[in-house]
Amino acid sequence: MTNDINLILEQLKIASSNPSWSTGQSHGAQQSAETIASISPVDMQKIASVGVLVNEEFQLVVEKAQEAFLVWRDIPAPKRGQVIRDFGESLRAKKKELGTLVSYEMGKSVQEGYGEVQEMIDICDFAVGLSRQLYGLTIHSERPSHRMYEQWHPLGIVGIISAFNFPVAVWSWNAALAMVCGNVCIWKPSEKAPISAIACQNLLTEVLGKHGLPDGISSLIHGDYKVGEMMTKDSRISLISATGSTNMGKAVATTVASRLGKSILELGGNNAMIISNHADLDTALPAAVFGAVGTAGQRCTSTRRLIIHEEVYDDFKEKLVNAYQQIKIGNPLDERNHMGPLIDKDATISYLNTIEEIKKQGGTFLIEGKVLDEKEYSSDCYVKPCIAEVEPTFEIIKKETFAPILYIMKYKTLEEAIHIQNNVPQGLSSSIMTTDLREAEIFLSHRGSDCGIANVNIGTSGAEIGGAFGGEKETGGGRESGTESWKAYMRRQTNTINYSKDVPLAQGIKFDLS
């Protein structure tokens, strides 16, 4: 680990020499003997270790959250917004340091690391405005001298389970909105990227302290799926927001539903871009390439399938292969590189297994994939992005592999292309490249994409704060970060006020006691 990274850890108040870090310590609980080491895929160096949560610690964390909720819910929403505003300012001050740490711990390019922190800043700004807009409706009553309205109240404790590919941004999407709505949060980050989470927690705890607020408003816990199970089974946690694989989401949904809790699920994506014969191919090319290789193909919105019209198929295929030859792979902290490593050895094994399965099913590789030389790259997690020609009927293309593997296939008609795109279990993001207005409108209509996100003349990858993020089918149906997403973090209450001297009943019912 370089001296620059050690300096960043110090600036973010993380001591890499400390053998472990556990949230439970700050609440006075006994530290767990088990630890998880965060190993950077960039150079396989250990960043730091974290203590794994045990049940005693978990009980204490939840109790502290319950106590903090009683304080936090009584603070007016605009003042809660001020706290979130100050957290956003803290992120602005540490954007470079936190973005670099995210890049080093997860392996994404440093510019993507900065972009992830900017998403956090943006959601804080969004939440500040929202703090004065938690509106309910006024409803006309059928009974004379009655007024009806609805209002929204905080749920209580919100549990957030985040994934390694966006180790901090997705937490902030949930936490900023949940907190401004009056909730407190318990966060379990991915065990593959826990140190970036500690940096965020340190910044937020400092802000809470400056406002004289209890640190239980935001708690951080570490561990594997067993810690996630503690959260999902606990009825004191009103809402679980979970980001990860479809299999993980199904387990979370089942457990939370069994206790009639609430959940927000952001799960797998298998995203396609349709490239029309009316497309501007020079616009389509960078969108397709970044969508496929950005974050080494480890975004839930990564472009995994290109569905290309037969008239432009050969032309675009040639452009695509030429563009792939220019991709620079290497240390993501070097801004000249386009792509860093996969997250760990397990990810490279999954990548290699998928390549073998493509070959078995009859796919042809335009650019072969392989694991790059460990001696040259100081890590065995760097891989070559590959392109495979496939048929739409191949089973392998219906599965999501978190790696830079791009499938390309032909289509004849727009209806055929839309059917190919929709004919997968997932439904997160989608895109069409076309200059034909009719094609664009059909793609966005009820006859078009069945995904939660549908774009025209931009790629599948990425999200903008303000637009609700999420998808359908096995993507889970959840929505985060935009429009009316805040309502998921609150409970709706309908109120009726009678200001007459009578008690008329609804629907004209008579109840005469005389």
Residues 310-352 pLDDT 10s: 999 999 999 999 999 999 999 999 999 999 999 999 999 999 9
Do both 423 and 443 map to the same domain? yes
pLDDT at 424: 98
Q: Reply yes or no on whether the pLDDT at 30 is more than 70.
A: no
Do both 305 and 254 map to the same domain? no
CB neighbours of residue 96 within 10 Å: 14
* Cβ neighbours of residue 135 closer than 8 Å, sequence gap 6 or more: none
Q: Reply yes or no on whether the pLDDT at 19 is more than 90.
A: no
Give the side-chain half-sphere CA count within 13 A for 471. 30
For residues 466 and 173, give the distance between their C-alpha atoms in angstroms, rounded to a whole number: 10
Q: How confident is the model at residue 512 (pLDDT cuts 50, 70, 90)?
A: confident
316's tokens? 């675009």
Q: Reply yes or no on whether the pLDDT at 112 is more than 80.
A: yes
Q: Reply yes or no on whether the pLDDT at 26 is more than 50.
A: no
Residue 212 lies in a domain: yes
Do both 391 and 430 map to the same domain? yes
Residue 43 lies in a domain: no
What value does the mean pLDDT take over residues 117-143? 97
pLDDT at 511: 82
Residue 334 lies in a domain: yes
Q: Reply yes or no on whether the pLDDT at 221 is more than 80.
A: yes
Is the distance from CB of 202 to CB of 12 less than 8 angstroms?
A: yes
Is the distance from CB of 404 to CB of 303 less than 8 angstroms?
A: no
Residue 471 lies in a domain: no
What value does the mean pLDDT take over residues 102-129? 98
List of long-range contacts for 497-504, beta carbons under 8 Å, 24+ apart: 497/146, 497/147, 497/148, 498/143, 498/145, 498/146, 499/145, 499/146, 499/147, 500/144, 500/145, 500/146, 502/145, 504/143, 504/144, 504/146
Burial label, 125 (beta-carbon count in 10 A; 0-12, 13-18, 19+): middle
439 is annotated as an active-site residue: no
Per the residue annotation, which of 185, 200, 300, 451 is the catalytic one? 300
Give the model confidence (pLDDT) of 136-183 as tens digits. Answer: 999 999 999 999 999 999 999 999 999 999 999 999 999 999 999 999
Do both 391 and 444 map to the same domain? yes
Do both 305 and 440 map to the same domain? yes
Give the model confidence (pLDDT) of 361-398 as tens digits. Answer: 999 999 999 999 999 999 999 999 999 999 999 999 99
Q: How is residue 396 annotated by DSSP?
A: G
Q: How confident is the model at residue 32 (pLDDT cuts 50, 70, 90)?
A: low
Q: How confident is the model at residue 200 (pLDDT cuts 50, 70, 90)?
A: very high
From residue 498, alpha-carbon distances to 136, 147, 467, 506 in Å are 19, 7, 39, 12
Do both 233 and 117 map to the same domain? yes
- Domain range for 236: 54-267+476-493
Q: Reply yes or no on whether the pLDDT at 31 is more than 70.
A: no
Q: Reply yes or no on whether the pLDDT at 23 is more than 50.
A: no
Do both 62 and 95 map to the same domain? yes
Do both 305 and 239 map to the same domain? no
Do both 199 and 330 map to the same domain? no
Q: Reply yes or no on whether the pLDDT at 28 is more than 70.
A: no
Q: To the nearest whole number, what is the mean pLDDT of the chain? A: 94
Q: How confident is the model at residue 20 (pLDDT cuts 50, 70, 90)?
A: very low
pLDDT at 373: 95
Per the residue annotation, which of 97, 266, 439, 480 is the catalytic one? 266
Give the model confidence (pLDDT) of 390-405 as tens digits. Answer: 999 999 999 999 999 9
What value does the mean pLDDT take over residues 96-106? 98
Residue 442 lies in a domain: yes
Give the model confidence (pLDDT) of 35-67 as tens digits. Answer: 999 999 999 999 999 999 999 999 999 999 999
The CATH number that applies at residue 415 is: 3.40.309.10
Do both 322 and 381 map to the same domain? yes
Q: Reply yes or no on whether the pLDDT at 25 is more than 80.
A: no
For the chain, percent of residues with pLDDT exceeding 90: 91
376 is annotated as an active-site residue: no
Do both 166 and 313 map to the same domain? no
For residues 505 and 79, give the distance between their C-alpha atoms in angstroms, rounded to a whole number: 40
Q: C-alpha 468: how far from its chain's center?
A: 12
For the chain, percent of residues with pLDDT exceeding 70: 96
Q: Reply yes or no on whether the pLDDT at 27 is more than 70.
A: no
Do both 240 and 356 map to the same domain? no
Longest dimension (CA), the chain: 94
Residue 183 lies in a domain: yes
Residue 498 lies in a domain: no
What value does the mean pLDDT take over residues 19-44? 66
pLDDT at 513: 77
Q: How confident is the model at residue 505 (pLDDT cuts 50, 70, 90)?
A: confident
The total number of structural domains in the chain stands at 2
The CATH number that applies at residue 97 is: 3.40.605.10
**Scanning the structure block, which residue is given the tokens 């540490």?**
94
Is the distance from CB of 469 to CB of 481 less than 8 angstroms?
A: yes
285's tokens? 């090319």
Q: In what order do the strands lie in the sheet with 146-154?
A: 138-140, 146-154, 490-498
CB neighbours of residue 388 within 10 Å: 24
Residue 166 lies in a domain: yes
